[in-house]
Chains A and B, each alone.
Chain A
Amino acid sequence: MEKIFCDIRKCLGCKSCEIACAVEHSESKNMFKSIREEKKSRQRVVVRSTTKEPFPLRCHHCEEALCVQACMSGAMYKDERGVTRHDPEKCVGCWMCIMVCPFGAISRQENLALKCDLCPDREDSFACVEACPTQALFAGSWEEFKEKLGQEKR
């Protein structure tokens, strides 16, 4: 399945991915309009740093997803492609998913869990990957990503 990977050596911490993600999940999908929307759109990727090097933090769509196992209402589920999905209709805001996520990739918006949904409104691209000015973010399979890293090794 196609996932998003990051070559953290290239991440500058510019937060362009954050902005793009928020715009993608906004009503208007337009940056200048979206920042004025009444219900503020929230990004599902955040740039963090533990030491000095920044990296984008978001859902990895784990094969063995602890959040899916821990979700008591069945709001967090795996779809046929293996994408970890979240159904806001079923979410009761118990935050078990936040507790068990080993990455800290799930946040909350009001009383619902919020995470990367791999841009369902887009056909063949991801907003964050497109926005990354250093091409640190990459869309594809793990094998393809490994191959790319190998080519670019300096």
Chain B
Amino acid sequence: MREKEKSIDKASQELLEIAEKEGIDTAWDRYEAMVPQCGFGELGLCCRNCLLGPCRIDPFEQGPQKGVCGATAEIIAARNLIRMIAAGASAHSDHGRDVAHTLLSAAQGKTKGYGVKDEEKLVSIANELGIKTNGRDKKEIAMEVAEKVFSEFGQQHGELQFSHRAPRKRQALWRKLGIMPRGIDREIVEVMHRTSIGVDNNCESLITHGMRTALGDGWGGSMIATELSDVLFGTPRPIRARVNLGVLKEDEVNLVVHGHEPTLSDVIVTASQDPQLIELARKNGAKGINLAGICCTANEILMRHGIPIAGNFLQQELAIATGAVDLMLVDVQCIMPALSSVAKCFHTKLVSTSPKAKFPGAEHVEFKEEEALSIAKKIVGMAVENFKNRVKEKVNIPDEKMDLVAGFTAESVFRFLGGKYRATYRPLNDAIINGRLRGAAGIVGCNNPKIEQDWGHVEMAKELIKNDVLVVVTGCSAIANAKAGLLKPEAAFQYAGKGLQEICEAVGVPPVLHVGSCVDNSRILITLCNVVAEGGLGDDISDLPVAGAAPEWMSEKAVAIAFYFVASGVFTVLGNPFPILGSREVTDLLTRRLEEVVGANFAFESDPIKAARLMIDHIDGKREALKLRPVMYEKEEVMVK
């Protein structure tokens, strides 16, 4: 194996050196200090769910094999895992709830900062939800849509509306297995109930309910977040932009937004273009106001406004270490509490905005939808005022930046394949059927210092596109692949197999498509449904020659995502295993037996190339089962410049 570095990203490497010289602690240092990490935790054998414990099961079978209550390794591992699903589903769903709330406030006229930007989408969602649209004002429709969506969170029985987008066969399977989600919040609450002392003590039924909860995220909370964000902020269209720490500017005010929700950041985009504030910036000696993003807040405003991305999860501290960030605004999720101590080493102002997320050492400017624009202007103003405090000697902006194209959605890209006037998925299905494309794969998820930053994402994507697998990416994986240049249309000629190259050339898209933030994984679900509906590739998602992966995952949200993909029928490979290996039975269930239940299972493989091979083998297997002809350019040498 190759020697391990901290990151494959040159900008990260450069700043890590600076951080080391300056004695700034980063996630990599803290990880090193944390190693060896607790084996019980890693194996999923530690239970803290009640005060009979904490209990730990000895995996060497010398010490205790049962917790004080009698829980075995199987029970403990399964309970811990589905609690992770509950937490992940909560994060996505609460994000969705906030977007629904913003739509409602906008429709009620309580806030001026927001309005319906995509009326067409609003109407189509309203029709889907059975809301009358004919001759009605868009505000009225929006109000009813928001109310209806709200009710799905607290719904006690019935089925989630968007789950009816899944292929019929899949819906029938969910009903048969009893995993059709009833209400978004209800399933999460039930996880907490089932996993408390002395309730559900069967690892199969625990995992089954975990799947139901995850489906409530994918086809509920996350999908609501995506769909209503499109209504409020506009459905993304392909857009050019730049990525990596080199997008920060030496002579402009740098405001970095970090976190996950688009509600505030979208208004920040407007505020940063305010002529008065730009004038103020000039007075302070800056040439303008430069907005950049980190994590999924970045992806949201990249997709819709082409705002540059400064970096992904592991670069949040490094961005501040450039010494050039005048203000970092954070909302919710994946924000390291360590940021404030890095910020203390520089002039950077750290501003928290969500009433749900406060940070020691950060200034709190609470975000309220009603006063969105004035709050956004206030924060941009704080950044501008702080520009003069920047210490020139401490500024180290790396040169690294890369062009990219983002903004693909289930509505846009795949229909481009059919041309503007003949919008259809037919050409995509045909390309797979005739073997020009082997299949498609999604690479999603986080960064994790356990794996060289971006290495897992980029190597996996390269291996897949080399083998004519069209790749879609979201979240920090999208940012990693963008930095590596795989989101440029030209990348097809350098890295893609001949079949995929032909497609990319004909349509003018990159071989790796950025489909959005981590809640936008729901776009991948919708795409899969559309492909099934188009016909010729089976009648369920589990028939499709597709696979998913999260090579550098770390967040509980990734566990929820992985579970809703598998429960929807997509084979999914994870870089690091779930913390369940201490239980043979749970491991066997997830990596093998689940296939018989939902038509898909998990695999754990930390080497991204080997993981990509697993995905390709799976795709080939599905092609064979569909009796598709062999891949068109199987034997030909791949052209690598």
Q: Which residues of A contact B (CB under 8 A)?
A: 10-15, 47-49, 52, 54, 133-135
Which chain A residue has the least Cβ–Cβ distance from B40?
A14
A-chain residues with CB within 8 Å of residue B39 when the two chains form the complex: 11-14, 54
Complex partner residue of B63 from A15, A49, A54, A134, CB under 8 angstroms? A134
A135 touches B63 (CB 8 A): yes
B62 CB–A CB distance under 8 Å: yes
Which chain B residue has the least Cβ–Cβ distance from A132?
B63
Contact with A along B50-73 (1 / 0, CB 8 A): 000000101110111000000000
In Å, the complex CA distance between A117 and B59 comes to 30
B37 CB–A CB distance under 8 Å: yes
In Å, the complex CA distance between A13 and B56 comes to 13
**5 A-B interface contacts by CB (under 8 A):** A10-B60, A15-B36, A15-B38, A47-B36, A134-B60
In Å, the complex CA distance between A6 and B38 comes to 17
B580 smallest CB distance to A (angstroms): 15
B-chain residues with CB within 8 Å of residue A49 when the two chains form the complex: 35-36
Known A10-B60, A11-B39, A49-B35; further 19 A-B contacts with Cβ < 8 A? A10-B62, A12-B43, A12-B59, A13-B35, A13-B36, A13-B39, A14-B39, A15-B36, A15-B38, A47-B36, A48-B36, A52-B36, A54-B39, A133-B64, A134-B58, A134-B59, A134-B60, A135-B60, A135-B62
Complex partner residue of B38 from A13, A48, A52, CB under 8 angstroms? A13
A-chain residues with CB within 8 Å of residue B38 when the two chains form the complex: 12-15
B-chain residues with CB within 8 Å of residue A11 when the two chains form the complex: 39
B-chain residues with CB within 8 Å of residue A48 when the two chains form the complex: 36
A22 smallest CB distance to B (angstroms): 16
Which chain A residue has the least Cβ–Cβ distance from B42?
A12
B51 smallest CB distance to A (angstroms): 13
Complex partner residue of B40 from A47, A52, A54, A133, CB under 8 angstroms? A133
In the A-B complex, the 8 residue pairs with the smallest Cβ-Cβ separation, listed nearest first, are: A12-B39, A13-B36, A54-B36, A49-B36, A14-B38, A135-B62, A134-B60, A134-B58
B-chain residues with CB within 8 Å of residue A10 when the two chains form the complex: 60, 62
* Chain A binding surface, main DSSP class: loop
In Å, the complex CA distance between A14 and B39 comes to 6
B430 smallest CB distance to A (angstroms): 48
Which chain A residue has the least Cβ–Cβ distance from B37?
A13
In Å, the complex CA distance between A14 and B58 comes to 11
A59 smallest CB distance to B (angstroms): 20
Chain B interface residue number, banded: 10 to 19
B73 smallest CB distance to A (angstroms): 13
A134 touches B62 (CB 8 A): yes
In Å, the complex CA distance between A13 and B34 comes to 10
A133 touches B36 (CB 8 A): no
Task: For chain B, residues 23 to 50, give those with C-beta under 8 angstroms from any C-beta of chain A.
Answer: 35-40, 43
B-chain residues with CB within 8 Å of residue A52 when the two chains form the complex: 36
B63 touches A133 (CB 8 A): yes
Task: For chain B, residues 465 to 496, give those with C-beta under 8 angstroms from any C-beta of chain A.
Answer: none
A-chain residues with CB within 8 Å of residue B37 when the two chains form the complex: 13
A153 smallest CB distance to B (angstroms): 13
In Å, the complex CA distance between A14 and B57 comes to 12
In Å, the complex CA distance between A10 and B62 comes to 10
A129 smallest CB distance to B (angstroms): 13
A-chain residues with CB within 8 Å of residue B60 when the two chains form the complex: 10, 134-135
In Å, the complex CA distance between A13 and B37 comes to 6
A-chain residues with CB within 8 Å of residue B43 when the two chains form the complex: 12
B-chain residues with CB within 8 Å of residue A12 when the two chains form the complex: 38-40, 43, 59
Which chain B residue has the least Cβ–Cβ distance from A12?
B39
In Å, the complex CA distance between A14 and B35 comes to 10
B-chain residues with CB within 8 Å of residue A15 when the two chains form the complex: 36, 38
A51 smallest CB distance to B (angstroms): 10
In Å, the complex CA distance between A48 and B32 comes to 11
B300 smallest CB distance to A (angstroms): 38
A133 touches B35 (CB 8 A): no
In Å, the complex CA distance between A13 and B35 comes to 8
A-chain residues with CB within 8 Å of residue B40 when the two chains form the complex: 12, 14, 133
B-chain residues with CB within 8 Å of residue A134 when the two chains form the complex: 58-60, 62-63
A-chain residues with CB within 8 Å of residue B58 when the two chains form the complex: 133-135
In Å, the complex CA distance between A135 and B62 comes to 7
Task: For chain B, residues 564 to 595, give those with C-beta under 8 angstroms from any C-beta of chain A.
Answer: none
In Å, the complex CA distance between A54 and B40 comes to 13
A-chain residues with CB within 8 Å of residue B36 when the two chains form the complex: 13, 15, 47-49, 52, 54
B-chain residues with CB within 8 Å of residue A47 when the two chains form the complex: 36
A38 smallest CB distance to B (angstroms): 23
B219 smallest CB distance to A (angstroms): 38
In Å, the complex CA distance between A11 and B40 comes to 11
In Å, the complex CA distance between A12 and B582 comes to 12
Contact with A along B108-127 (1 / 0, CB 8 A): 00000000000000000000
A35 smallest CB distance to B (angstroms): 16
A-chain residues with CB within 8 Å of residue B64 when the two chains form the complex: 133
In Å, the complex CA distance between A122 and B396 comes to 56
A-chain residues with CB within 8 Å of residue B62 when the two chains form the complex: 10, 134-135
In Å, the complex CA distance between A11 and B58 comes to 11
B609 smallest CB distance to A (angstroms): 20
A50 smallest CB distance to B (angstroms): 10
In Å, the complex CA distance between A48 and B33 comes to 10
In Å, the complex CA distance between A13 and B39 comes to 6
In Å, the complex CA distance between A107 and B223 comes to 54
B579 smallest CB distance to A (angstroms): 13
A-chain residues with CB within 8 Å of residue B59 when the two chains form the complex: 12, 134
B582 smallest CB distance to A (angstroms): 10
A47 smallest CB distance to B (angstroms): 6
B362 smallest CB distance to A (angstroms): 27
In Å, the complex CA distance between A14 and B60 comes to 14
B212 smallest CB distance to A (angstroms): 33
In Å, the complex CA distance between A134 and B43 comes to 13
A56 smallest CB distance to B (angstroms): 10
B-chain residues with CB within 8 Å of residue A13 when the two chains form the complex: 35-39
In Å, the complex CA distance between A134 and B60 comes to 7
In Å, the complex CA distance between A78 and B37 comes to 35
Which chain A residue has the least Cβ–Cβ distance from B58?
A134
In Å, the complex CA distance between A13 and B63 comes to 16
In Å, the complex CA distance between A113 and B43 comes to 36
In Å, the complex CA distance between A47 and B58 comes to 18
Which chain A residue has the least Cβ–Cβ distance from B45?
A12
Give the one of A14, A49, A52, A135 with max B CB within 10 A.
A14
Which chain B residue has the least Cβ–Cβ distance from A135?
B62
Which chain B residue has the least Cβ–Cβ distance from A49?
B36
B-chain residues with CB within 8 Å of residue A135 when the two chains form the complex: 58, 60, 62-63
In Å, the complex CA distance between A11 and B56 comes to 14
Which chain A residue has the least Cβ–Cβ distance from B43?
A12
Give the one of A15, A49, A134 with max B CB within 10 A.
A134
A19 smallest CB distance to B (angstroms): 11
Which chain B residue has the least Cβ–Cβ distance from A47?
B36
Which chain A residue has the least Cβ–Cβ distance from B62?
A135
Give the one of B36, B38, B62, B63 with max A CB within 10 A.
B36
B-chain residues with CB within 8 Å of residue A14 when the two chains form the complex: 38-40, 56
B-chain residues with CB within 8 Å of residue A54 when the two chains form the complex: 36, 39
